[in-house]
Structure 1
């Protein structure tokens, strides 16, 4: 599940990480995380101790599942073949498999060393898949019953640009009722919430702490998309207009455009697609620069946010990185205490040019200091509906394709569901997901799950965190079959 806004690379004494791109995830990873919004930089290093499987989750043997015939699924199959081979891992084919963004930070020999340690616990069998297009989380089980998650993302050329091995997610027993879904939310960190809305009458089928404004990570990009659509409708922007990557607009992962050379041009539509489907932060900031901060702030009101002043001045992703992890703590304190004018003045002091923020710095939650974007579940429900309303206009015609490119849970379109729009978000200590769903019988729903914690590890696993949302969506699908 691709979530945004960050996907981190970091070393761990407990687990082996090889990761480039957005924190958490989803994905996707979420975004892979997949994702998070999940976090920055690509500084993964192989470690000598302990091996990955020393910390894997043990479980009863599970039946094998097939891997999808998607770009991420095909590369997961390549990894699976390598780690199940009888012969030691060689570097043959690595340059045709791993993107430069990986190999520039980790040599082929180092990659082979990590894969060889995983191979030592073969055979690995895929038992669960959560994948959509260019990203996925693949739960593998060893012959000894240990579980390991392979989180993987690929670029537009189908080459691996993000890979992460971590403790496996046990196969869950889905909730059989809304009471059980609510119990699942109660098992999450304090302050977690889940809301399920039936669009036809505006009722909440389930409402667990849904009226509390929480940090949403990259879900804020829905409001940027509203502003872009409105600018197209007003004739001040077009979907085919070109946007140019510059060092002053370059942000940090998640995404791809942060690695593009200065001068690279993308259309507004391409940037919007990247902003939503892979939670590309640089694409987001290009779009915000094109429409202007006031237009995005106006989009909050236009899309029905109950307290738009909570998010003004509206931060770009670059500004969040700078204030959250690129300044002294005293500056963050100034931001927290300042009024709107003071905050706008503080943004003017942030430096231009290439960001120099080490990946290791982007680990501490800063949402408690008003460094994120905040919304209630009902705010996000209204944002999704505002975009769907705009999608019925000529100016908003691309919106459904943009929002439906990655549904976050690898849900099948054409069976229970005829359409799903999704945007997730993550940051250190933040995890959130939002789904607009159209059932095959014509019923429409919005599902929003949110959580925030001062302890990042409490909301770091999108597969575990979004279990209640996944169960709720399954119950809605079952309802449509009755």
Structure 2
């Protein structure tokens, strides 16, 4: 996702019906001569040809100088392989289109805008996402299974009777670190409390304790007044850790333990005590080695006492960002753990119980590119990532009205993971599911 953000210029993403690049059939949207020519130019650029001065208008070249553009396209080739061919051009008008390009490892979706007058140079280019190449669910599952480390996956239809067979599964009962995907449990409890009349989305609380990024609220004034709705939105849409830790403090351990159990976790003690993000990260630091050893040796009740005892020592200034962002660090011990079955059970709980407001919060950040997301009538998402850990979780409703829960997990205790690789495969998986 970071690569796509670096590559992108500001454009509005649109969904459209795919047209064959070589189509001669009459359609309402006609591929103009300039769109066809400039799409070919984009393919050449992605293949490494140095024709930026001919293809891009002056504003584009000022925003993204040719040397910078070549560096970015070099990163794309390093991750996705060589660009091979244009698969489709979907015109929005004579000077704007969505194009799909096949790479050796994936299919890329690009929004293309041209000048309105000749020579119709490219004025905007937005690479919105990749999906893995592969003709079937089995192909994509095999590619995920071949990744280094451990993979757990489950795709479960939610419309049938309980116990309906899954559509696809890889190690569904395996124990995986899920990183920020644990925040779905917090959202589920907030939703329950609001529906029960115990809380209101508009309730105002004080921000804190502060945690490390990701997010923005760590930069806000201490004890800022914020609503529960704002905290939940930040927590789910941008995985804001300070918002998350504030909600853990407000909700409390007993209520969080209850929702973990109610949502069907096979071993609720795995998530008790429910660690704050700051606590989990601080306990991984060398300076807290003695505290960490005591915490890991204790049972759930004793762990809660230990957290209360030394929580004040687990301060943000004890965190070493080099350790947080470099290699996997205690991901099999100091994390939030669940199986793919647990995650699908949580998504099914939300599907059955969640209010319209909670569903709207889940849908803010789709996790995948807009073209893939547009294939669904509803797409709720929460992911999780840290070195060695990726977890992608979707609550889906198709255009035909079918509902699904999808959980894709990848752990590797020995090396950091290439997020774009699993994201491309997961996007392909979700696209294939939309066709069922």
Fold similarity call, TM over 0.5: yes
The equivalent residue for 1:184 is 143
- Provide the rounded CA distance (Å) in 2 between the counterparts of 1:413 and 1:215: 26
Q: How does 1:321-470 map to 2 (within 5 A)?
A: 321-325=281-285, 327-348=287-308, 349-351=310-312, 355-356=316-317, 357-362=319-324, 363-391=326-354, 396-412=355-371, 416-457=375-416, 459=417, 461-470=418-427
Correspondences of 1:58-457 after superposition (within 5 Å): 62=43, 81-82=61-62, 84-85=64-65, 118=68, 174-201=133-160, 202-246=164-208, 249-325=209-285, 327-348=287-308, 349-351=310-312, 355-356=316-317, 357-362=319-324, 363-391=326-354, 396-412=355-371, 416-457=375-416
CA contact (8 A) 1:243 1:268 kept: yes
Stretches of structure 1 lacking an aligned partner (at least 5 in a row)? 2-23, 29-59, 66-76, 87-116, 129-140, 142-148, 150-167
Once the two structures are superposed, residues 141-180 of structure 1 have per-residue CA deviations (whole angstroms, 9 ceiling, x without a partner) of 9xxxxxxx9xxxxxxxxxxxxxxxxxx9996652101221
The structure with the largest alpha-carbon Rg is 2
Q: 1:28-47, aligned counterparts within 5 Å?
A: none
Please state how far the C-alpha of 1:423 moved relative to its aligned partner: 0.4
CA distance in 2, matches of 1:369, 1:344: 19
CA RMSD of aligned residues (A): 3.5
Q: Is the 8 A contact 1:210 1:377 kept in 2?
A: yes
Q: Give the structure with the larger helix fraction.
A: 2
Q: Aligned-pair distance for 1:263?
A: 2.9
* 1:23-58, Cα deviation, whole Å (9 max, x unpaired): x89999xxxxxxxxxxxxxxxxxxxxxxxxxxxxxx
How far apart in 2 are the matches of 1:353 and 1:475?
A: 45
Q: CA deviation at 1:345?
A: 2.2
What is the DSSP-based 3-state SS (H/G/I as helix, E as strand, rest coil) of the residue aligned with 1:456? coil
Residues 82 and 119, structure 1, Cα contact 8 Å, conserved in 2 = no
The answer as to whether partners of 1:336 and 1:369 remain within 8 angstroms in 2 is no
Distance 1:123 1:191, change over 3 A: closer
SS in 2 for 1:192: strand
Moved over 4 A (4+): 24-28, 77-83, 119-128, 168-173, 412-415
| Shift in alpha-carbon separation, 1:419–1:331, aligned structure 2, 3 A | same
Matched-pair contact (CA < 8 Å) for 2:237–2:361: yes
Pair 1:353–1:334, CA change in 2 (3 A): closer
Q: Distance in 2 between matches of 1:122 and 1:221?
A: 33
* Closer/same/farther in 2, CA of residues 323 and 122 from structure 1, 3 Å limit: closer
Query: Partners of 2:197 and 2:315 in 1: how far apart?
Result: 32
- How far off its partner does 1:236 sit? 2.9
> Which structure 2 residue ranges, 5 or more long, are not aligned?
7-40, 47-56, 81-100, 102-107, 109-126
CA deviations on 1:109-141 (whole Å, 9 max, x unpaired) are: xxxxxxxx737869999999xxxxxxxxxxxx9
Q: What is the distance in 2 between the residues matched to 1:327 and 1:315?
A: 19
Q: Give the corresponding residue for 1:158.
A: none
Q: Contact 1:84/1:122 (CA < 8 Å) preserved in 2? A: no
Q: Secondary structure at the match of 1:464?
A: helix
Query: Which TM-score applies when normalising by structure 2?
Result: 0.70
Quote how far apart the aligned CAs of 1:203 are.
2.3
